[in-house]
Structure 1
Amino acid sequence: MSLVKLDGKRFPWNERLIDFFSRDAFVDDDFFNLEKTHPSMNVKEHKDDFEIEFAAPGFEKKDFKITMKDDVLEVSAQKRKEKTEEEENFTRREFNYNAFTRSLQLPPTVDRSKDVKAVYQNGILTLKVHKMEAAKNNQKKVIEVA
């Protein structure tokens, strides 16, 4: 009886099938990348307000819609761009549609009677949400770890 050495791949055709289906030239973009539909966000707490930043490059000021109802701040943006070519016989045609919606639960220290200030510059949407006067005087308590 002779021994045959295996390379550890029990079903070598599985890898070939995965390569075959993942190398489609027409669907080679980041179509299934969910991170692109949800912009990154930073929240900074200052003495007088909260500063919220969204990384949203490629939009214009008119594309944003910002609403505040009760204790929920909703930021959404929508932009549609169509790239057309003169030729009728095309292999690939691109429609570009960018949109996102993000809802934030605001803390009870937010002053809802004051307007939220929004500035869009260099691909960053910055929102300033004011704190209530009672919250401005509230100092943080530092807790030591024993």
Structure 2
Amino acid sequence: MTLVKFNPEKKNNVLLPGFNDIFESVLEDTFFSGRRTSNIPSVNISDSAEAYHIELAAPGLKKEDFKVSVERDKLTISTEKKMESSEHEKSYTRREFSYSSFTRAFTLPDSADVDRIEASYQEGVLKLSLPKKEEAKAISRQIEIQ
């Protein structure tokens, strides 16, 4: 564990000088650095004339790891993964457990056709296509000027 350093040149809270330095020191410690990573994958959402598209970056997972469900107007994407590794050397055993899970929920617009949602998983990206209802598709036409 690193020693707490006080840097008087940093602008700290006037009432509690050094307060930010203590937390920065603890959180930058090597014990915590590998454990502070976010388990929530990034999402891109786009809209075309025909459908809404969701792309979720989740490398290292398999398509079987995902659970995609729709309930009322909420689309939920979740996964739970449990990894175990063990290493046998000489006269001792070391086991390491790793659990990761996330849940992302999206409120669907009324124009989404929930009965025709399609999903695919390729190269670490989960892609969902949410077709729009026929009455919600943008109708484009040229208007003649008189």
TM normalised by structure 2 equals 0.72
Mean CA deviation greater in 62-71 or 105-114: 105-114
| Matched letter for residue 63 of structure 2 | K
Residue from 31, 45, 52 that aligns with 2:35:
31
SS in structure 2 opposite 1:134?
helix
Q: Larger strand proportion, structure 1 or 2?
A: 2
Q: Percent identity?
A: 34
- Once residues 103 and 86 of structure 2 are traced to their aligned partners in structure 1, the CA distance between those partners, rounded to angstroms, is 27
1:102 lines up with 2:104 in the alignment? yes
| Matched letter for residue 60 of structure 2 | G
What is the match of residue 135 of structure 2? 134
- Once residues 70 and 18 of structure 1 are traced to their aligned partners in structure 2, the CA distance between those partners, rounded to angstroms, is 43
Please show how residues 47-126 of structure 1 align to structure 2 within 5 Å.
Answer: 47-87=49-89, 88=92, 90=94, 93-114=95-116, 116-126=117-127
Unpaired runs of at least 5, structure 2: 1-6, 10-16, 141-146
SS in structure 2 opposite 1:95?
strand
Q: 1:14 to 1:107 in 2, by over 3 A?
A: closer
Displacement of 1:19 in angstroms is 7.9
- Once residues 64 and 15 of structure 1 are traced to their aligned partners in structure 2, the CA distance between those partners, rounded to angstroms, is 39
Contact 2:86–2:93 (CA<8 Å) still a contact in 1? no
- Once residues 121 and 60 of structure 2 are traced to their aligned partners in structure 1, the CA distance between those partners, rounded to angstroms, is 11
- Once residues 52 and 15 of structure 1 are traced to their aligned partners in structure 2, the CA distance between those partners, rounded to angstroms, is 38
TM normalised by structure 1 equals 0.72
- Once residues 81 and 114 of structure 2 are traced to their aligned partners in structure 1, the CA distance between those partners, rounded to angstroms, is 29
SS in structure 2 opposite 1:66?
strand
Please tell me the root mean square deviation across aligned C-alpha atoms, in Å: 2.9
